[in-house]
A and B are shown apart, each in its own frame.
Chain A
Amino acid sequence: MSAGDFEGHESLIAQLRAGTLDAPDHVHRRVLALGQGKRARVPMSRRRKLFILVPVAATLAVTAAVIHGAFSSGANPNASAAAVEFRHGRNQPVAGAAGATGARGPTGAQGPTGTAGPSGPNGGTGATGPTGTVYDANQQSPAGAQGALEPLHRSADTAKRTLSSTPESLLIPTHRLVHAVASLEVAVPSHGALTRATNKATEIVTQLGGYAQTSQYDASRSGPGNAFLDLRVPIGKAESAIRMLGGLGRLLFQSVTTKDLQQTATQQTTLVGQLQRAITIYEQALQSGTLSGSQRVEVQIRLAEAQHQLTATRKAHGRTLASGRTAEIQLRLTSRNHHAVVATPHARGRLSRLLHNAAGFLGLEAVIVLYALIVAIPIVLLIAIVWWLMRERRRREEKLLASA
């Protein structure tokens, strides 16, 4: 091809090649000075980067999945209200020991074998043990929340011991005005225990300076029994009340909601002050006798409005303070056998669960990647089109410039 291209122009080519045209020395020096002071970096081709990045990304994804699997397989999947049960597991006489088994804590929380109390540390037979038996153990055991299930003539220091043995799990701020609403669902083993727990709940709130606003008790000979109590306790005793009420049986559900009322109360106090000052000004203006007839009427209207607003604000402020002084506790006691519903045999070992969870997490990662691709592809295409158009434009410009 070369020979063909130069055919007929040999003389011209020779002339062109005969001329010397070297870069001046200062250009040589300038170019050679480029590398001075710069550290040579290890080159890495795109393919090499790809070879590194892909396995690293895959390793990270798998590691994340395995870590997730390891953490999520730590807890026994049979436990339905795991978090709450874990926390309050120590309230249970044998569950406390069962809690020591770590991963099998929730199993312990299911109440391993009250009758086989001594085997508690293993916490192993809970799944097979009937619920009723479990809570009989509560009554027999000397410590923990079983105190709440013992006869009502138990002394107050028992309640104190119950409180002291209960973990600190809930925090209701006492340095600010807050309104707290708590919901608790507690399972008790039998109708008899339900009656005792209902009475004990009322006694607990009374001891703490509160009262039962409403109380409903439903029980039949054959079916499960339920008791609903709407309790009010002073806000400062709310945490204690929640702990003690939660210890009446096996805590199934617990929810605490707090709402800060401090700002509302402060605003109301400020408004009351403003209104009082306004009322004083209006009254002084009316007494001065310098107002015209129409002005007097207008000030009287404003005075009446301010007085009305002051009354309403004071009432609201009173309600706010009352709301901040007491906490609402809705307690549901049930003798329904929840274990029968949630208990499933240990079909899988921990490794199996780990692998299962890790695979699930990997699947989730794949879905996320797929989703990202679906979202990214149109954007990438758009960018590619814009890039191509710009390139074409640049080429056209180059052509024009070069041929000018």
Chain B
Amino acid sequence: MKPVNAMPAALAAPRPGRAQPFADVVAENLDAVYRYLVYLTGDRVAAEDLASETFEKAYRGWRRFDPQRGAPRTWLCRIAHSVAVDWFRAEARRQRREDNYMRDAAMLEESVFGDGFSPELDQALHRLTPAEREVVALRVLLELDGPSAARVLGISQTACSSRLSRALQRLEEEVGDVRR
């Protein structure tokens, strides 16, 4: 977690009726949201932009956030999910227009999903679908509980659980394949 320096007054001031100012929420969740977006998109550069966009949206909607309905992290992940879906949509259109093989190949050369990962794990993660990586990110890295993750994904808890199980199983297989 990075320290928050030179925090703007608008962010630092707690809103009436809230225990936590927005700046604290940023400090606590920015890395997690970024990690989630990296897993979801498989693209660090895109994840940076999307993280910024997510927090911009979150800041605009901060007055509507109801802490009783869920944790800030869940709420931020839902926003990030929505932002990422829009990105996927735009990306699908773009990919139809141009071949981005070279970029993908270049991305594979460096570790995308985490510093200190073995190349096998990184490649295996890359082979998963975004949906599979997303559930892994939410449940494993961000440590959201089942209901929260299901809410972010817009699916039932059972479906979320099944998706996670499938994703982990496939990740194990992919790591094994890469090693072989």
Contacts and interface: CB of A to CB of B under 8 A. Distances in A.
Interface of A: 1-2, 5-6, 9, 12-13, 15-28, 30-36, 38-46, 394-395, 397-399, 401-404
Given A19-B115, A404-B92, A31 B52 contact: yes
A21 B8 contact: no
Given A32-B26, A397-B89, A403-B129, A38 B10 contact: yes
Contacts of A31: 26, 30, 51-52, 55-56
A43 B64 contact: yes
B152 to A, nearest CB: 12
A138 B74 CA distance: 88
Contacts of B161: 1, 5
A27 B34 contact: yes
B42 to A, nearest CB: 11
Given A21-B38, A31-B30, A43-B18, A36 B117 contact: no
A402 B64 CA distance: 28
Contacts of B115: 19-21
Interface secondary structure of B, over-half rule = helix
A9 B168 CA distance: 7
A87 to B, nearest CB: 57
Interface of B: 1-2, 4, 6-11, 13, 15-18, 22-23, 26, 30-31, 33-35, 38, 40, 48, 51-52, 55-56, 59, 62-64, 66, 85, 88-89, 92, 113-118, 121, 129-131, 134, 136, 139-141, 145-146, 154, 157, 161, 164-165, 168-169, 171-172, 175
A6 B138 CA distance: 13
Contacts of A5: 139, 146, 161, 164-165
Contact of A19 (B7, B9, B116): B116
A402 B88 contact: yes
A395 B154 contact: yes
Nearest to B144: A2
A397 B85 CA distance: 9
A398 B169 CA distance: 23
A12 B168 contact: yes
B158 to A, nearest CB: 10
A13 B8 contact: no
Contacts of B136: 16
Contacts of B121: 15-16, 19
Given A12-B175, A402-B129, A404-B92, A34 B118 contact: no
Interface secondary structure of A, over-half rule = helix
A30 B63 CA distance: 20
A34 to B, nearest CB: 5
A356 B66 CA distance: 45
A87 B111 CA distance: 93
A40 B129 contact: no
Nearest to B23: A32
B30 A27 contact: yes
A401 B154 CA distance: 14
B141 to A, nearest CB: 6
A403 B130 CA distance: 6
Contact of A23 (B51, B129, B139, B164): B51
Given A19-B115, A22-B31, A34-B55, 14 more contacts: A5-B161, A15-B117, A19-B116, A20-B115, A20-B116, A21-B114, A23-B31, A31-B56, A32-B4, A32-B26, A34-B59, A42-B15, A45-B17, A402-B130
Given A17-B140, A22-B2, A401 B116 contact: no
Contacts of B10: 35-36, 38-40
Contacts of B165: 5
Contacts of B55: 31, 34
Contacts of A25: 2
Given A19-B113, A30-B52, A34-B59, A12 B171 contact: yes
The 6 closest A-B pairs by CB, nearest first: A19-B114, A43-B63, A35-B10, A402-B131, A23-B34, A35-B11
Contact of B52 (A21, A27, A41, A44): A27
Contacts of A36: 8, 10
A362 to B, nearest CB: 34
